[in-house]
A and B are shown apart, each in its own frame.
Chain A
């Protein structure tokens, strides 16, 4: 199929663009295969380049022959295009609709995009699975854990990467048996190793006990292998006990006390994906309506339940971190599939526990390992965002909820993260629409099939360039090797304005404050350098000329 077939009117003049907090721009609107472009064709005026894949939905309005298209984007921005001529407007609208809902992944922009920047480090090689636990290899770790290639052709678990870390005593045949006992073949694998005390966090899919209490000796052996003699472990089930009970009827279930006597099971209540999607839609709707009274705003914020979800995932992550760091116990986390709420918990717990995850590189590594490699289905979850008119099927803002959780911790510990909020916003945008191939596909297997490393550019190639790193670096950062315990009290959790109110308020004075902060710190550094130089110069002068010391 040619894009040209979908573009009925490639160019319209005299189009007026309205954007919040920006002057209107009049210019020429062009449609290309992947972009909507508006240019005034004058120097110094900004142009609009919008990826079609960033468009969540559009609305058309007509006043006489003047048509308007309201474009609602996945990054939550809303813009309006006034297009003279009814026919042009209708053509543009139908083209945008068609181009923004292309089904075929191979037609997506990343397959056409060629970088205009120099790739210093190919992001596709930055975080290889075999390196994931590299820094642990010299430690005791190797006596207890090994990397298994049992899934190298994705046949044991289609959503796992080819290489996974498992207890050393469990051989690949056992792993295959365990895989048949876990949802989606997701047998328990290592997610995090706590160097401080050697405790671990594992994740898996739910056990397929069914109504008749099926059991699997290998599964029991596998997870028991992670326990120290005489110690108990904790299983964190991200579902309420009722939901977990109901799962039995569909072949799922949970670990019974009888079969797992060394494990204590804790049920938490992280909502399923469709509930999260509804919550996001309600929240964004509340944020976009400026006519609300205070009462109505607060009640809509409450009714969206978004903040409740934030509190719930952080609470569960704290619980997992607490088991490991304070109780000195190993933890197994799972929900149903083990690809959504499970990852929320394991990744946020690592932010709390592991200082390495709070660096720029370490955070990318965490996203790569706990989300991309761990099989979070980005393609499905991020197909639509908050403005979608169609009934959500598999869409859910799980990754956005993760980023929100990280933001809450970052806000409470503004000096303990090497990156700023900008990195989180950037990831949010690129997860939904991007010129990079990083977030395409639903699993490592899917990405391998698409040959993404060969055919597309990695987001990490873009991020890990000095200019971009400088922009993302937190000037307040000072490495903090401690565990950071966020407060999860509702009063301590704020609405993430940088995403949800980003287009609804001017950020000028906040940007100014940020620049000022950077300036104070850079000025101090410069002074320090200067003073040090003079100190040395002075010391040198004084030693060269000892006479000067004697009066």
Chain B
């Protein structure tokens, strides 16, 4: 509390720029230990806006205007708030407070360690046992006669950024492991990420070798041999270096680098060319800017998209996953993945490959397990990458954002393959940054253990699981071919789209547009109720008539419409293609009211827009304005949004 200079300022004007609104609301601004809260004066709505301090990425103070002093709050979920404070002194105070509050220096200042949800000790402990990684290894058939658990890293003796429980090839001795780890950046020796039971091939991960120009290490060579030997079906392994080859070569000068194919028998080296965290950071900033452009022309927009390079990077990551998937599933060859330290690009490539290889990771539970394994347990540096504490800005990079986006791009290509919807991905994205839960705190397992996070905070997963109804994709169907087996995405550039749900808040909140997905969810829910009612009625009727219940199955013949080239008789084809269903666009909207979405268009009773504009740009502004109207009313009346927005809890 000592950082709050002014807890309350009145007559403040707030503009939620990211919502596409042009309407300013007047109200009172409060600063609490955890949130900035804005309460609208309008007695009818009293709309509240809560912004968690840990979600604030920057607080800018543009020059004072005659109307007052301004603040611009940029959030880590890409929302932007513009605040106008009448008195400059108040503004300075709020600014100073927010700057300090949004950059905690110690973990103990973080929300999850100060915030005590109404849950007792048992619940807290239970929340941490929600995910059992060992059970997942078991699900994939590990340990077995090829892959075994190793105690080498218990107490984090060999590698302090690895988990304590790891799986390695059966033939790898402790001496091999230790020797190999000495030859790898940060001691991150090759360990199992995913075992593919169908082909017995495995995805392994590590960091770059400390090879320099000529260095070699016998134990490391033995280790890679061991990985190969743990796959009886093949006589070589792929080593996938996810960096651009130039970067990998440059590392040799620093005594690091990549495997020399002459020293290792039976490896094939493959570079993928995913750029480093610095390139990604600046690329994301550019795509955020594209999302925030006001009334851009089509040229501005497409040029901005190209210039950001963002989709190119997303494609590179997906391509890495596709390469690994082909090797493992089609060739039956094991793959060892690394980058420099093996905690960013390696995590991306391995987890994307798992999504493509194994349908389990396309379920709600499966995705949480996957993130827990490839990201949390393998030491992805969450606190550094997502700036949980005030630290080195060069360490910050949207690494997991890119993984989540790859999953989103896949879900656009395979609308029935994922049990979860876009909202789930965005919820995870928010929590990675929000520090409301202990799950993503710290930079590795050891750090989390030392912080005793399990005793002091809660895990996010049970919370998300509880809300799973809201995160469920109504089109998901485990029996469909795309939900089973390997996913084989098309990675031609035109298959990638800007993720508007994340980067374009204007679109996100534009009129509660109609969402087929939400509509279908509502229909499915209704069907469930009808099924129950049907059973009830049948039982009652049976009781009344004394006749046994005749259970009838409701069967609806499936219409299949793959008529691309079909025709009948001498008539030439008149069938148009059953092209894109509207459904594949469906996960765009983010709102929590499924049932009433369908009929929502702007109500004509809402105030007419500004006078007629001659400028084409202003016309789109006009649409935006209307959307603003619709949006405002839906938010204030329902509170539905609030319940799922962690900032507003």
Task: List residues of chain A with CB under 8 Å of any chain B CB.
Answer: 19, 22, 35, 46-51, 115-117, 234, 264, 266, 268-269, 287, 290, 292-299, 301-302, 305, 307-308, 310-312, 315-316, 318-319, 322-323, 325-327, 410-416, 420-423, 425-426, 429, 435, 462, 471, 474, 476, 478, 480, 482-495, 497-499, 501-502, 504-524, 526-528, 530-531, 534-535, 537-538, 541-542, 545, 548
Contact = CB atoms under 8 A, between A and B. Distances in A.
A200 B130 CA distance: 63
A422 B576 contact: yes
Nearest to A407: B580
Given A510-B580, A527-B527, A294 B311 contact: yes
Interface in B155-172: none
B604 A545 contact: no
A490 B296 contact: yes
B411 to A, nearest CB: 10
B302 A515 contact: no
B279 to A, nearest CB: 14
17 contacts: A49-B572, A115-B571, A269-B616, A294-B496, A315-B619, A318-B619, A412-B514, A414-B516, A416-B601, A482-B603, A494-B497, A510-B581, A511-B581, A513-B415, A517-B583, A524-B527, A530-B552
A310 to B, nearest CB: 8
Given A421-B580, A484-B601, A535-B537, A490 B560 contact: no
A512 B481 contact: yes
A297 B493 contact: yes
A470 B631 CA distance: 35
Interface in B604-642: 604, 608-609, 611-612, 614, 616, 619-620, 622-624, 626-627
Task: Find the residue from A22, A315, A516, A537 having the highest chain B CB count within 10 A.
Answer: A516
B74 to A, nearest CB: 19
A305 B561 CA distance: 34
B576 A493 contact: no
B579 A493 contact: no
B448 interface: no
Nearest to B609: A326
B601 A534 contact: no
Contacts of B495: 505
Contact of A517 (B291, B475, B511, B568): B475
A421 B583 CA distance: 11
Contacts of B534: 527, 530-531, 534
B606 to A, nearest CB: 11
A513 B620 contact: no
A501 B578 CA distance: 13
Contacts of A308: 297-299
Contacts of A517: 475, 516, 520, 581-583
A319 B619 contact: yes
Contact of B298 (A311, A471, A510, A545): A311
Contacts of A117: 571
Chain A contact residues: over half helix, strand or loop, or mixed? helix
Given A327-B612, A414-B585, 7 more contacts: A299-B302, A299-B306, A302-B306, A471-B561, A490-B301, A501-B494, A520-B520
Nearest to B580: A498
B576 A429 contact: yes
Given A504-B492, A516-B480, A541 B541 contact: yes
Interface stretch (B362-370, B392-400, B458-466, B500-508): B500-508
A420 B541 CA distance: 41
A514 B298 CA distance: 30
Contact of B537 (A116, A301, A474, A534): A534
B560 A515 contact: yes
Contacts, number: 317
Nearest to B603: A482
Interface residues of B, number: 111
B625 to A, nearest CB: 10
Contacts of A420: 581-582
Contacts of A47: 567
Given A422-B579, A513-B416, A514-B581, A487 B298 contact: no
Contacts of B295: 489
Given A486-B623, A487-B623, A527-B527, A411 B585 contact: yes
Contact of A491 (B506, B514, B530, B569): B506
Q: Which 8 A/B pairs are nearest by Cβ-Cβ distance?
A: A514-B581, A490-B301, A513-B415, A498-B579, A297-B493, A426-B576, A298-B306, A302-B302
Contacts of B496: 294
A312 B297 CA distance: 10
Nearest to B613: A319
B566 to A, nearest CB: 7
B556 A294 contact: no
B582 A548 contact: no
A510 to B, nearest CB: 5
Contacts of B619: 315, 318-319, 322, 488
Given A413-B513, A426-B576, A512-B481, A482 B602 contact: yes
A551 B296 CA distance: 73
A264 B614 CA distance: 10
Contacts of B601: 413, 416, 480, 482-485
Contacts of B579: 421-422, 425, 497-499, 502, 507, 510
A434 B614 CA distance: 41
Contacts of A485: 511, 601-602, 623, 626
Interface string B521-536: 0011011001101100
Contacts of A49: 567, 572-573
Contacts of A541: 541, 544-545
Contacts of B490: 505-506
A82 B477 CA distance: 41
Contact of B599 (A415, A429, A483, A501): A415
B416 A46 contact: no
Nearest to A50: B572
Nearest to A500: B494
B297 A490 contact: yes
A514 B609 contact: no
A415 B510 contact: no
